[in-house]
Amino acid sequence: MEIFGLSIAVLLKVILINIVLSGDNAVVIAMASRNVPKKQQKKAIFWGTFGAIILRIIFAIAIVYLLGIPFVTFVGGLLLVYIAIKLLLGEGEDDHREGGSSLISAVKTIIIADAIMSLDNVLAIAGAVEGNIAGIMIGVIVSVPLVVFGSQLILKLMERYPIISYAGAGLLAWTAGEMIVGEPKFKYILPPDFHLLIPTTITFIVIGLGYLTNKIKTAS
């Protein structure tokens, strides 16, 4: 049996890929929304996810051309490191409580971070469906409820257990490290050991910097 020219087995593979790869996207949405007033948190998640999904569709269509740009994965990894630190430090928390610009700021952060992190998701789906555009679109659509539900669950856990924010930042930092070492231009330059060393180092730096900065803020 086939749907849009794809077998049930391939569609199931696409769903499984989304389950595995949508976790980090849900984390960044939850972290970006956690300082937004409660009344606006669902709006931030909805509009942030909506904007991110639109970009995923654009990525799905343009993925071949995007990957042809030198160092796009490396630059994406560096941007994700910055976002992980920014989210962990909770910059401008006093402004976030006002609710006006905080909603826009959260939505913007969600869209940018999700766009960067969706490269692996779109790539994996494109590979699974062998370039079938309909299959890629199905993969993107399937990811929507997974990301929205996952981000709301993580947000609730963060409110009860603030330490989860550090775990979330660590996950983003690790993903950034993997993107940096996964840059095709570095394929034959970096020794094999660096493929583990760089993500680990970046993760420790981000968590350590966030912890020390937050501790200094609390002390003052």
What average pLDDT score do residues 11-22 get?
62
Give tens-digit pLDDT for 163-220. Answer: 887 887 888 788 888 888 888 888 788 888 888 999 999 999 999 998 898 888 777 6
Give percent of the chain above pLDDT 70.
Answer: 68
- As a whole number, mean pLDDT of residues 2-19 equals 62
Q: How confident is the model at residue 22 (pLDDT cuts 50, 70, 90)?
A: low
**What's the average model confidence in pLDDT over 18-43?**
75
Q: Is 81 exposed, middle or buried (0-12, 13-18, 19+ CB in 10 A)?
A: buried
| 61 pLDDT tier (thresholds 50, 70, 90) | low
Residues in contact with 24: Cβ distance below 8 Å, sequence separation at least 6, in sequence order: 117, 171, 172, 175
pTM: 0.64
To the nearest whole percent, how much of the chain has pLDDT over 90? 6
Give the number of C-alpha atoms closer than 13 A to the C-alpha of residue 77, restricted to the C-beta side: 20
Q: What tokens were used for 45?
A: 């998640």
Q: Which residue has the tokens 């609710």?
A: 99
φ, ψ of residue 207 to 5 degrees: the values are -65, -45
pLDDT tens digits for 132-148? Answer: 666 667 766 776 777 77
Average pLDDT in the chain:
74
Strand-strand pairing, 2-3 and 6-7: antiparallel
